[in-house]
Amino acid sequence: MMGRFAFEVSQLSYLERRVAAALFANPPEATLDDALNHFILADEYAPFIWLENKLFIVKTLKLMKRNQKDIIAHLREANSVRDKLTDEVSDRRDGGNIMLRVFVTLCVLWVVSGRTLDKYHIDELLASGKNGAYEAAENLKKELGDQENPELLWRLAKVEHEIRKYEKKESKQEKLQKKALEYAERALALEDSNPEIHKWYAVALGGMTDFVSIKQKLKIAHTFEKEIRRALELNPNDWELHYLLGRFLFGTSQIGWFERKLATAIFGAPPTGTVEGAIDEFLVAERLSDGTELINKVFLAKAYLENDNYKSAVKVAKEGLLLEPKSYDETHGLQELEKIMKSYHKYA
- How far is it, in rounded angstroms, from Cα 145 to Cα 140? 9
Structure confidence at residue 200 (pLDDT)? 97
The topology (CATH level 3) of 237-347 is 1.25.40
* pLDDT for 307 beyond 90: yes
As a whole number, mean pLDDT of residues 79-93 equals: 53
Amino acid (one-letter) located at 193 = S
99 Cβ contact list (under 8 Å, min separation 6): none
Give the domain ranges of the chain. Answer: 1-92, 145-233, 237-347
Identify which of 139, 196, 166, 116 has the alpha carbon closest to the alpha carbon of residue 327. Answer: 166
pLDDT tens-digit map of 285-299: 999 999 999 999 999
* DSSP code per residue over 34-61: HHHHHHHHHHHHSTTT-HHHHHHHHHHH
Q: State the distance between the two ends of the chain, measured CA to CA, in whole angstroms.
A: 45
* pLDDT per position as a tens digit, 62-84: 777 666 666 667 666 766 665 55
pLDDT of residue 260: 63
The dihedral through the CA atoms of 153, 155, 157, 163 has a sign that is negative
Over residues 42-58, the mean pLDDT reads 67
